[in-house]
Amino acid sequence: MKQLIASCLLYSLTTLLAAQPAIEWQKVYGGSGDDYANSMQSTSDGGYVMVGHCWSNNGDISGNNGTWDCWVVKVGNTGAIQWSRALGGSFYETSPHIQQTTDGGYVMVCNSQSNDGDVSGNHGGTDIWVVKLSPDGSIEWQRSIGGSSGDFAGGYSGDEAQVFIQANDGGYIVVGTTSSTNFDAIGNHGQRDILIVKLTGDGVTQWIKVLGGSNTEAMIHICQTSDNGYIIGGHTNSNDGDVTGFHAGIDFWVIKLSSEGVVEWEKAMGGSGDDRLKSILQTSDGGYLAVGGSSSTDGDVIGNHGKSDFWATKLTNAGTLEWQKSFGGSEHDEASSIHEADEGGYIIGGITRSTDGDVTGNHGGTIPSDYWLVKINNAGAILWEKALGGTMYDDNIFSLKTLNDGGYILAGRSISNDGDVPGNQGLTDVWILRLSSAGEILWKKRWGAVAMNLVIMWRQQQMEVTL
C-alpha cells in the first residue's frame, strides 16, 4: 500500500511539473538609459512587435528626440531585432499600447507633451498621441487628442492613453483618462474621467464619450464584443454620475457600449478595500471575465489570502456576476492580463511577492516581485501556476499573449541577473520570455539599463495614471 501511495504521489507531482510552462527563449533590448516595454503583440509574419518608452540613444536605440520617446521594436520569431524606432518630440512621450492593423502596419497610442519632432496638434499639457505606422515602422499619420489640462513632468495627469483596438469597421477605439474640460474632453464629471474616442481608419474622429463621476476613474482595457459593441474595464472611486453600485475604496468598473458609443449597462464590483481591474475579455459563452488586484475581504470579494490578491470575476452577457475567485498568498499579488486558452480555461498573468498560499517557486521572497502565471479552468479552479524571475526587486509583467501553438509571450521589466533572468545591462531592463505550452523555455531576452533616479521618476508618474 505504501508503495502504491508513493507511486501515486510521484505520478501526480510529475504530471503537475510537466504541465507548467517553461521558458523557450528570452532576449534583452535597450541602451544605457531608461528603457521600458509596456505592450507586446504577435504579428502576422510569426514575429512580435513591442512598444514602450526609452531614454537611451545608443545600443539598440537610435533617433531619440529628447528625454523619453515612444519606442517601437519589431522582432522575428526568435527575438532578433528587425527594426527599431524612437518616436516623439523634445518633451516627454510614453506609450502604453500597440496593435498590428489589418493592412500589415501598426497603430500605437502614446502620452505626449511635445508639439515638435514627430508630434503635432498638442492641445496643451499631456495629450493622447495616436500614431499609424507602415509595416516598416514609418509614420503614415498621427494626431493628438485631448484638452489643455495636465503636466506630465509636473506630476499630474491631463489626457492619457491606456489602450486601443482596431474595430471591425477598420477604424480605432482609443480609451484613456482626462482631467480636461475643453477641446476633445467636454463633459468631464469631476477629477478624472474616462475618455473614449472612435476614429476612422484615417484617424478622423467619429464620436467621443466622457464617462465617470465626481471622483476619479481609470479605464485600462477594451475589447470589441460579438454584437460589434465594446466592453471596457477599469476602476472607480465615484458613487455618482455614470457610476452605480459603488462599494468603497476603489472598485472594478465595467462598461458595455453599443457600436455607436451608447452605454448599455455598467457595473461596479468590489469590497471595502482597493479593487483595480487591469484586463477584461469576452468569453466564448458570450459573457465576460475581468481580472486585476483586490485587497478587499468583503462585498463581492471572497477568499482573499492577504494584502492584495489576483481577483477574477466572471460576468454574464448582461453583466450579472456568475463567480469570483481570489488567487495568491499573504503578500502583494496583482493580475495584469487575461487570455482565453484554445483548449478551454484561461491564463492570467501578473506579479507576486508571496511565497505561500497558491504561489510556489517565487525567486525573491516577499520584497522582490516575480512574474506569476495562473492557468484556471472555466469554473475558476487552478490547473497550474508558475513564478518567473530572479532575486532582485521588481520583476514585473506588463503584457501576456497566447500564441497559435498554445504557448505564451510575456513582456515586462527586470532588475535581476539570476534565476530565470540573464544578462542585466544596468538596473531596470526590458525582459521578454517565450514559453511553450508544455513547459519549456523557448527563448528569453532582455534589453536596456537605467539609473535608479529614473526608475523612481517613472514609478511616480505611473502612479498618476492609477487611482
* pLDDT range class, residue 466, cuts 50, 70, 90: very low
**Predicted model pTM:** 0.77
Average pLDDT of the chain is 81
Find out whether 162 and 176 touch, Cβ atoms under 8 Å: yes
Q: What span, in angstroms and rounded, lies between the C-alpha atoms of 186 and 72?
A: 32
Closest C-alpha among 173, 179, 162, 334 to residue 234: 162
Task: Retrieve residue 275's grid coordinates.
Answer: 479593487
Residues in the chain: 467
Q: Has residue 461 got a pLDDT over 80?
A: no
Which amino acid is located at 227 in the chain?
Answer: D
**How far is it, in rounded angstroms, from Cα 121 to Cα 145?**
8
| Res 144: pLDDT | 87
CA dihedral 357, 430, 157, 237 (to 10 degrees): -10
Percentages helix, strand, coil for the chain (3-state, rounded to 5) are: 5, 45, 50
At residue 461, the 3 state secondary structure works out as helix
pLDDT digits (tens, 9 = 90+) for 169-214: 999 998 887 776 666 666 676 777 888 899 999 999 999 888 989 9
Residue 382 has pLDDT above 50, yes or no: yes
**Model confidence pLDDT, tens digit, residues 129-167:** 899 999 999 999 998 887 666 544 444 456 676 778 999
Question: What is the pLDDT, as a whole number, of residue 16?
Answer: 38
Out of 68-77, 288-297, 365-374, the most confident range is: 288-297
**Cβ-count burial 284-312 (b if 16+ within 10 Å, e if not):** eeebbbbbbbbbbbebbbeebbbbbbbbb
Phi-psi region of 140 (alpha: psi -120 to 50; beta: other; left: phi over 0): alpha
* Residue 324 clears pLDDT 50, i.e. is over it: yes
Which pLDDT tens digit goes with each residue over 25-49? Answer: 777 787 777 777 777 888 999 999 9
